[in-house]
Chains A and B, each alone.
Chain A
Amino acid sequence: MVETGTHLLDAALSPQRVFLTRESSKENILQFLVNELGQCGEVDDVQALHTAIFTRESLMSTGIGLGIGVPHARISSVRRMILAVAVNNQPLDDYEAIDNLPVQIVFMVAGRPDQQSNYVRLLAVLSHVVKQESNRKAILSASSPEEIYQTIRQAL
């Protein structure tokens, strides 16, 4: 069953998985988010998630443009669909986004292989949220993870 965007986001994201980071490269921020997702209790095999995220990046960058990155993967060692958000203190030039702009906001999504519909829906919802400039500005100007979380929720 395909769920609504708000419902999906509420189920996948919690304020504890929203971070203000100070990473210096794409690799570092991806590693950071993998580790954070690995610690949330919904991932049985963190190494598998790491491999899946970086393998996906090797196929094509998940920098979707407008300073946004959406690394994602579906693996069987994830119990349910989860999302982590990192807003870096500086744009990352090495993200190789499709519009060649540096990336500053990163949404990492991990799901199960059999969750194709909801997985696609969540990615589409995130894409829709960050395409609006006001939303992006609000996220970038937020001073705390809680504020970022509320901004994303209210944008839906």
Chain B
Amino acid sequence: MEFGILLILGIGVFGGILGAWFFQKLRIPQVIGYIAIGLIIGQSGLGIIGEMDIPNLRPFSYLALAFIGFLVGGELEGKIFRQYGKQFTGIMLGEGLGAFVVVGVGSGIILWFITGNIPASLAGGLVFGAISSATDPASTVDVLWEYRSKGLLTTGLVSVVALDDALALTLYALGTTVAGLLVGGEVNFLELFRSLGIELVGSALLGVAAGWGVSSLLKHSKSSDRSLTLLVGVLLLIAGVSITFHLDVILCAMAAGATLINHAPHRSKPLLETLRAFASPIYVMFFVMVGARLQLGAQPIWLWGLVAFYVIGRTAGKYAGTWIGAKISNSPPLLQKYLGMGLFAQGGVAVGLSMMAGQHLSGVEVMNGLDLGTVVVSAVTATTLIVQLIGPASVKWAITKTGEIGRNVTEEDVIAELYVKDVMNAEPVSLQEGELLSQVFDKFSSHDQLCFPVVNTTGACVGVISIDSLKSLFVEQEIWAWMLAGDVMVPIKEVVTPEMPLAEAMETMHQMEAEETILRDPETQNPVGIFDLRNAKRSISKMLLKRQGV
């Protein structure tokens, strides 16, 4: 049965969200849910997304990579690099080269053991090693965003996953060049490095230019809607131009995001938040596609051995390499111990490189009817599935261990989670309506309350006296001896309830130009609390600092 592209997108996004919801219930990162749904509806499952649909959906993947790259770049603030640039570079080289060496040597030995073909084994080892060095920024960063992570580890993870694609591309270019020489294919060493240089430098230049252009244009954009549209337009252009000129979409978009955040930090931060929300369905589809295009057909048993070693070797290489890189660069112990755990995800770059290797090495036969290109594509596909299931979970583990989960919160986030009852003074001191004004002044001076409920003999609240309403009484001291609280109280404007969301209550108070109000029990009319904006803001600040781990 043929499914139209819109129906496929609908099934993908809707199914992905259901999968994410299910996995979140199991406390597993949502990205695994997206990929699992992709597997179910993709080529290895129900076949709703078939082989023919993959090329049609590829533009969405590129667009998603542009969004992801841009948002990852948006996290790369210059001040972080000035502080930890040496450490992050050391770690990136350590983890990339660690995986390259361990996977390269190990898989070369396995291939030699199986095939007995030394040049092909060396070539395979080099390509596997290079591909294994890439870390998937998309799923890694998705976990960090999902759990609102913030801190040194989070910053380190974002920086390293953003940078190591360039290392992976360089290692791949070196690896395939040497591999080509080893297996006797026609490889032009200079041409390969020239094209690599063009890809890396061109991507960076295009990205910087795009970021600078967006920053300049945003100055003239008065509405957030128009700014968002402008940004989406630029990202479409980045993706389109990158593909046309064989540049790296994600590197280019990262460069654009990094340029924007460093050129116009105040203007771009709220815009990046809006873009992140806007990009959500595009991500979902991207990860569903990752799952859908994985083909887990019948493979020889030894290939599964190679897959198992690749996963274990890459994991060990990344972790050990991170530790060594962090030690050498004098990184804080937190980075030495935990950063490696967050670098296991493998995604678009690895799969893309394996596809290229599949073409480069398709003529190298390793066994009867099995060429090296097919071995690389099959193995990387299978390892991507396994690592994409392990990677996000280990990112979550690392940020849990370092206590960085939930720290990336804003004041608005805190307010959105609270109700009036969470910040109100639930034990208000009341005034009796028969209390003399002189006693009222005494109570104001001895309690930290900006207003007092006035209650009658049954305890029902019949009015309120605020510090503002008392101001007019300061000069009328001759009436203090015979005026009562009930004489000067004002009626309560019942606009806020304890169950009301805090954001709504604060907006209501602003509209009324009120600073405080009394909350009453609807049945007894007894005062149950005082909601005052000054204390509410104090509570919000406390909660924010606590959540941010300050």
Contacts and interface: CB of A to CB of B under 8 A. Distances in A.
Contacts of B489: 116
A124 B488 contact: no
Interface stretch (A6-14, A55-63, A135-143, A148-156): A55-63
Q: How large is the interface on B (under 10, 10 to 19, 20 to 34, 35 or more residues)?
A: 20 to 34
Interface stretch (B108-116, B229-237, B479-487): B479-487
Interface in A22-61: 56, 59-60
Contacts of A64: 481-482
A59 B478 contact: no
Residue among A59, A64, A65, A127 having the largest count of chain B Cβ atoms under 10 Å: A59
Nearest to B476: A124
Nearest to B477: A124
B476 A121 contact: yes
Interface in B480-517: 481-484, 486-491
B433 interface: yes
Contacts of B486: 56, 59
A41 B373 CA distance: 100
Contacts of A60: 434, 436, 482, 484
Nearest to B491: A113
A116 B484 contact: no
B334 interface: no
A72 B491 CA distance: 17
B490 A120 contact: no
Contact of B488 (A2, A62, A70, A120): A120
A116 B483 CA distance: 12
B473 interface: yes
Contacts of B472: 2, 116-117, 120-121
Contacts of A131: 478
Interface residues of A, number: 22
A2 B482 CA distance: 21
A59 B481 CA distance: 14
Given A56-B486, A72-B487, A113-B491, A98 B481 contact: yes
B473 A120 contact: yes
B478 A127 contact: yes
Contacts of A128: 478
A104 to B, nearest CB: 17
B514 to A, nearest CB: 14
B434 A59 contact: yes
Interface in B403-453: 433-434, 436
Nearest to B482: A64
B274 interface: no
B221 interface: no
Given A2-B472, A60-B434, A116-B469, A124 B482 contact: no
A123 interface: yes
A114 interface: yes
B476 A120 contact: yes
A74 B481 CA distance: 19
Contacts of B473: 120
A38 B13 CA distance: 72
A62 B482 contact: yes
Given A121-B476, A124-B478, A113 B490 contact: yes
A114 B493 CA distance: 11
A130 to B, nearest CB: 11
Contact of B487 (A56, A65, A98, A127): A56
B433 A116 contact: no
B491 A59 contact: no
Residue among A2, A72, A116, A117 having the largest count of chain B Cβ atoms under 10 Å: A116
A120 B488 CA distance: 7
A64 to B, nearest CB: 5
Contacts of B482: 60, 62, 64-65, 70, 98
B145 to A, nearest CB: 50
Interface string B181-203: 00000000000000000000000
Interface string B246-284: 000000000000000000000000000000000000000
Contacts of A117: 469, 472
A60 B436 CA distance: 9
Contact of A123 (B433, B469, B479): B479
Nearest to B471: A117
A6 to B, nearest CB: 16
Nearest to A126: B479
Residue among B469, B482, B491 having the largest count of chain A Cβ atoms under 10 Å: B482
Residue among A2, A56, A114, A120 having the largest count of chain B Cβ atoms under 10 Å: A120
Nearest to B490: A116
Contacts of B484: 56, 59-60
Given A56-B487, A72-B487, A120 B479 contact: yes
Interface in A107-127: 113-114, 116-117, 120-121, 123-124, 127
Nearest to B478: A127
B233 to A, nearest CB: 54
A59 B455 CA distance: 13
Contacts of B483: 120, 123
Nearest to A72: B487
18 contacts: A59-B434, A59-B484, A62-B482, A64-B481, A64-B482, A65-B482, A72-B487, A98-B482, A113-B490, A116-B472, A116-B488, A116-B489, A117-B469, A120-B472, A120-B473, A121-B472, A124-B478, A128-B478
Given A56-B486, A120-B479, 6 more contacts: A59-B434, A62-B482, A116-B488, A120-B473, A120-B476, A123-B487
The 7 A-B pairs of least Cβ separation, nearest first, read: A59-B434, A124-B476, A64-B482, A113-B491, A117-B472, A124-B479, A116-B490
